[in-house]
Chains A and B, each alone.
Chain A
Amino acid sequence: MLTLTQRRRLTRTLSYLYVAILLIFTLFPIAWMISSAVKPIQDLFVIPPQWIPHHPTLNTLSSVVRGDYGRGSLFPVYFKNSVIVTTGTTVLCLVVASLAAYAFSRYPFRGSYGLMVGILATQMFPQGMLLISLYLAFLRLHLLSTYQALVLANTTFAIPFAIWILKGFFDTIPREIEDAALIDGCNRLDVMTKVILPLVAPGLVAAGVYTFLISWDEYLYAATLIARPEMRTLPPGIIQSFVGQFYLNWPNVMAASVLVTVPVTILFIFFQKYLVQGLTSGAVKG
């Protein structure tokens, strides 16, 4: 039988061991991606593999950034399109979702709970099924291959989740603050925009970062609703330009992967705290 101290020490050691193994599992693929992106092509296809590049080079990365690698790919253009679509989705979502979340949090009415459940339940509607009618509608409206089409389509998953995150934040603000402002004679709109919204700034950041991440990630709508190559966003852009049926340009693929991951990593490093708070505000009521 182990003493309590011994048992504690054992648990501790096992915990660090677990963390170490899991760190390898999570970070090794990332390290391998970076390592593959900075190798000259002939060093990529060798056995045994070079864990650390023997001849590190930034040539592949820079040629992907410049967009000159032969197959008529438009990486910088995709990047610009992704920034526009993602920013558009994020701004639109934050505006409409914060209004809606505020209404759900502060002015519930008969049926508002059901409405909120309904909005969240839309997440179980098969995206492919929604896409069929969205595609046909945008086809008829001549909106295929436009930013508007993609921003609108992205709202199907972004708005409901943003409402959920934001409602969690609104719920943490004491009602007395509003009551005081209302008694002072402010109207309800002013109370919301001037008093409460500034207080949920962390929630806006959390919902904004989350919306940004999932829009940056979006592939299905972007691959279907955008036909013109110069309008493509990064996810389908990368697939279309580097992944042929019988041929994959691995150095370029890995370099492009690194470049696509950089913006979200920067965002994550700066806003990790808010993102974590946001993800848990809806589900975990402390």
Chain B
Amino acid sequence: MTTLGSEVEASPARKRFLRSFRLSNTGFSILLLLPALLILAFTIIYPLVRGIYLSLNSYSLVNFGAGIEWVGLQNFKTLLSSPDYLAVWWTTILFVAGSVGGQFILGFLTAIVLNQDLRQRNLFRGLFLVPWIVPTVVASLLFKWIYNQQYGIFDYVLRSVGLISEFKAWIGDPHLALFSVTLANVWKGFPFHMIVLLAALQTIPGEIVEASIIDGAGALGRFRWVTLPHLRYIIMIDLLISIIWTFQNFTMIWTMTEGGPVTATTTLAISIYRTAFQAFDMGMGAAIGAIWLAFMVVFSVLFVRFIGGTTRLEI
């Protein structure tokens, strides 16, 4: 036998020598984490800290001579007293609520339907996933074409079936633009919820379902007392992730409307971009981000407390 073990066993002196260099398990663990932590320190932690610092400064890239000037909370005061800024929050909340709400309901319904033993259900699941893998820019250009004012298929179909009587500018009309973008986002995003919730539904033990049927639970009762409690944790994670992502959504909105018409679809993500990279007001852009970040942290903690109860996050 010449396993590594017997070799080491043969020379205790060498073993002791090696052990003096030997990392503890914690040391080994940190060594493995180091590459990821170093990269994230540069790409996330540094920009975050510097962003918070910038939010307390006036820093415009338009006149380089001006440089960075400390202004304290001035950027925040300007923002909070601006009706335009508060309107951005309202737009963001509508967009997030509409997108996540629509995606979740459609995704959950689909998951429940696909959880039965339908013929070809794996094929259907694959086909329903298609919007999710289509690149966002493609999806938004595609919907821009579908919503086209003159030759758009959406308007044509709605008119043909008599739902509307005249041309509508689905993304050109400030009253409709947010709805249209949200609908496109529901199309793009619902498959994620379907996949996560379907996988979760399949973990519900059959005996529990059968027991509840024997106990006389109807379909609704079963949903309320068996399915929902069992899925509570996954629903929480699923909703939290998608709320965070939808706040971040820049591409879909920007490539469809650039936040317009006027400011009809200007969410926080669009607003930072416009402020920092079109008006080149870096300090103000960072301030918009800082408030948003603070909101997300508080929201996430409350959300996990409220929906997750006392369960520790299993990650």
Contacts and interface: CB of A to CB of B under 8 A. Distances in A.
A261 B268 contact: no
B144 to A, nearest CB: 8
A216 B135 contact: yes
Interface in B29-68: 29-30, 32-33, 35-37, 39-40, 42-44, 46-48, 50-51, 54
Contacts of A113: 315
B54 A133 contact: yes
A285 B110 CA distance: 21
Contacts of A219: 136-137, 250-251, 254-255
B32 A29 contact: no
Interface in A102-158: 102-104, 106-110, 112-113, 115-117, 119-137, 152-153, 155-156
Interface residues of B, number: 100
A183 B153 contact: no
B158 interface: no
B292 interface: yes
A220 B199 CA distance: 31
A83 interface: no
Nearest to B159: A47
A114 to B, nearest CB: 11
Contact of A284 (B118, B136, B203): B203
Contacts, number: 296
Nearest to B55: A129
B138 A130 contact: no
B162 interface: no
B268 to A, nearest CB: 7
Contact of A220 (B106, B142, B273): B273
A279 B196 CA distance: 7
Given A238-B141, A254-B145, A156 B238 contact: no
Interface in A234-259: 234-235, 238-239, 243, 248, 250, 253-254, 257
A280 B289 contact: no
B35 A95 contact: yes
B43 A121 contact: no
A152 B43 contact: yes
B192 interface: yes
Contacts of A107: 25-26, 28-29, 32
B282 A108 contact: no
A36 interface: yes
Interface string B137-179: 1110111111010110100100000000000000000000000
Contacts of B276: 128, 131-132
Given A129-B47, A283-B237, A27 B282 contact: no
A52 B98 CA distance: 33
Q: Which residue, of A127, A129, A286, has the highest number of chain B Cβ atoms within 10 A?
A: A129
A15 interface: yes
A130 B47 contact: yes
B296 interface: yes
Interface stretch (A17-25, A56-64, A197-205): A17-25
B216 interface: no
Q: Which residue, of B8, B39, B46, B247, has the highest number of chain A Cβ atoms within 10 A?
A: B39
Given A116-B315, A136-B282, A183 B5 contact: yes
A217 B136 CA distance: 6
Contacts of B5: 183-185
Q: Which residue, of A23, A160, A279, has the highest number of chain B Cβ atoms within 10 A?
A: A279
B314 interface: yes
A167 B250 CA distance: 29
Given A45-B151, A156-B44, A220-B251, A124 B36 contact: no
Interface stretch (B74-82, B83-91, B126-134, B221-229): B126-134
A268 B130 CA distance: 9
Q: Which residue, of A11, A25, A108, A124, has the highest number of chain B Cβ atoms within 10 A?
A: A124
Interface in B183-214: 187, 191-192, 195-196, 199-200, 203
Interface in B11-34: 25-26, 28-30, 32-33
Nearest to B300: A124
6 contacts: A26-B191, A97-B36, A103-B28, A133-B46, A238-B137, A279-B196
CB-CB nearest 9 A-B residue pairs: A129-B289, A185-B5, A128-B272, A107-B29, A185-B4, A133-B47, A280-B199, A103-B32, A100-B36
Given A47-B151, A99-B33, A125-B44, 4 more contacts: A30-B131, A129-B288, A188-B28, A276-B195
